[in-house]
Amino acid sequence: MSDPRLDLSFDGAVARMTIRRPEKLNALDAAMVDALVPLCRAVERSAAKVLILTGEGEKSFCAGGDVAAWSALDPPEFARHWIRDGHAGFDALARLSQPVIAVLNGHCLGGGLELAACADYRIAESHARIGLPETSLGIVPGWSGTQRTARRFGPQLIRRMSLFGEVYSADEALRLSLVDKVVDKGSGLAAAEELAAIVAGRSATATELAKMLINAAEGEERERVLDAFAGRIAAGSDYLRAGLAAFREKGRQSSD
């Protein structure tokens, strides 16, 4: 499954995913949300060591969920598909083996902040504005905007945005640790590429394991991390190799 408005490209060890819907401030509709899981799987299975995530244009990184897309859904559809499918896509991004660098090249609101929270490093251009305005529309943040964002940024900050409507400038977001770096307008991608080059020059295995451990400490995919670590150890054991050799030999004897 793919969507042309989510463009994925590769340049050596660096993957880049760009939201290409500037006429709608890079808001996500259902088809775009559905495309996130297969795109993340493609990154996961590639030779890329790092992913850069950004939006097209200068106005918005991502304005969140397209209001026209979700407001037409009845409550069961909204909960069963829009919310759960969004979680599947955002979880896939947050749990990538490769580090993710988000370039907030404009406003980052609602689901846009939830999307940015899936990244490991956030670079904001100086004109970006960041907030969670869902309750002003009579809805709540639905793509882990009260869960993953609270774990990564702290629950009190999420209260201030979601309950009291605070919206932050890039400099305020840096002071509050919502973002990791602020750069001039138009220079976010260049800063991300410099950072990506540092990641690409490091051990992919060590970086992946470190990210998995940090995710587990945060409460992100703890069960999968434990299984993955155990599986990695078992897969490299002499006992497994001997067991597989015996299994194959038994199969050959049975076919003779």
pLDDT digits (tens, 9 = 90+) for 139-166: 888 888 889 999 999 999 999 999 999 9
Domain count, the chain: 2
Report, as an integer, the average pLDDT of 189-204: 97
Q: Where do we find the tokens 């993955």?
A: 228
Can you tell me the distance from the alpha carbon of 16 to that of 7, in angstroms, rounded to the nearest whole number? 8
Q: Note whether 195 and 221 are same-domain residues.
A: no
Which band of pLDDT confidence, cut at 50, 70 and 90, is reported for residue 201?
Answer: very high
In a domain, 103, yes or no: yes
Same domain, 17 and 77: yes
DSSP per position, 211-254: HHHHHHHHTSSHHHHHHHHHHHHHHT-HHHHHHHHHHHHHHHHH
Q: What is the CATH number of the domain that holds 125?
A: 3.90.226.10
In a domain, 247, yes or no: yes
Q: How many CA atoms lie within 13 A of 145 on its CB side?
A: 28
**Where a domain ends, among 169, 185, 200?**
200
pTM: 0.88
106 or 229: whose pLDDT is higher?
A: 106
Catalytic residues: 114, 134
**Is 1 inside any structural domain?**
no
- What's the CA angle centered on 214, arms 210 and 220, to 5 degrees? 130
User: Among 120-124, 129-133, 141-145, where is mean pLDDT lowest?
Assistant: 141-145
Residues 93 and 153 in one domain: yes
| Residues 233 and 116 grouped into a single domain | no
Same domain for 171 and 101: yes
Cα(253)–Cα(224) distance, rounded to whole angstroms?
37
What is the chain's mean pLDDT, rounded? 89
Are residues 210 and 107 part of one domain? no
Containing structural domain, residue 215: 204-255
